[in-house]
Amino acid sequence: MEEKEEFRTQLLELSKKIKSTLERGIDDAREHNPLSESRDEADLGSATVDLALQMSSQKTLLEILNLVEKALKKIETGNYGFCELCKREIPIQRLRMIPYAPYCVECQSKIESKK
C-alpha cells in the first residue's frame, strides 16, 4: 500500500494525542471548546479526530488507543488495511477518516447491530 507511511505517521500522532489527552484528564479536555480554537483548514480530517477524542470518555480513549496500537503493529507485519472479520481490503477513504479502523463498514455495522 502506497499510503502506508502516511497512515503510520497519522497513527503515531493519534497515539500521542490520546496519551496526552489521557494525561491531561478528560474533564480538563472538555473544558476548552475545540471549535473555538483556530484550526488548519486543510486538516479537517484530523480536526474531526481531535474533536472525537475530546468528546470521548476515558474508556473509549483507551479502546481507541488499543486499536491505534494494533493498527501500527499491522503496518509492521503488512496486514494493515484489511478487515479483521471478512479479510477484504478496507476502502482507503474509510482509512483516511479512521486510520485505526479494524473492520470494513459492513462488518462494523454488523458488529454494532449485535450490541
Residue 71's CB: how many other CB atoms inside 10 A?
24
Q: What is the DSSP letter of 55?
A: H
By C-beta, is 29 or 80 nearer to Zn ion? Answer: 80
| Residue 3: CB minimum distance to Zn ion, A | 19
Contact call for residues 81 and 90 (beta carbons, < 8 A): yes
Which three cell numbers, joined as nine digits, stand for 14?
A: 493519534
By C-beta, is 12 or 86 nearer to Zn ion? Answer: 86
Contact call for residues 15 and 49 (beta carbons, < 8 A): no
By C-beta, is 22 or 85 nearer to Zn ion? Answer: 85
| Residue 70: CB minimum distance to Zn ion, A | 15
| Residue 82: CB minimum distance to Zn ion, A | 9
Binding site for Zn ion (CB under 5 A): 83, 85-86, 104, 107
